[in-house]
């Protein structure tokens, strides 16, 4: 069983879901994918922190505390 997706598959996924990203031919897709996953985790953690503080707005301190956790 394969653990990683082929680069062409990753390129198609990124192109379909994030068309604003311009990937060069020599771009390392795994770096971009890891960055997008990190941003997603950071957003989820910041949203959780805001919810725990009973805030309807995600504030910079929620994001900073999430970044320290991640």
| Predicted pLDDT at 1 | 44
Is 54 a member of any domain? yes
Is 1 a member of any domain? no
**CATH number of 57's domain:** 1.10.20.10
CA dihedral 22, 14, 51, 63 (to 10 degrees): -40
Q: H/E element holding 47?
A: helix 29-52
Residue 13 domain boundaries: 7-69
pLDDT tens column, 23-43: 666 667 777 777 888 888 888
Most confident of 1-10, 12-21, 39-48: 39-48
| Predicted pLDDT at 41 | 87
Contact between 63 and 46 (Cβ < 8 Å): yes
Total domains in the chain come to 1
Is 38 a member of any domain? yes
Task: Output the pTM of the full model.
Answer: 0.55
- 6 vs 43, higher pLDDT: 43
Q: Mean pLDDT over residues 17-27, rounded?
A: 68
């Amino acid at each position: 069983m394969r653990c990683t997706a082929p680069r062409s598959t990753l390129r198609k996924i990124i192109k379909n879901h994030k068309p604003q990203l311009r990937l060069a031919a020599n771009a390392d897709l795994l770096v971009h994918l890891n960055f997008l996953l990190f941003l997603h985790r950071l957003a989820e953690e910041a949203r959780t922190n805001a919810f725990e503080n009973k805030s309807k707005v995600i504030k910079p301190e929620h994001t900073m505390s999430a970044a320290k956790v991640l």
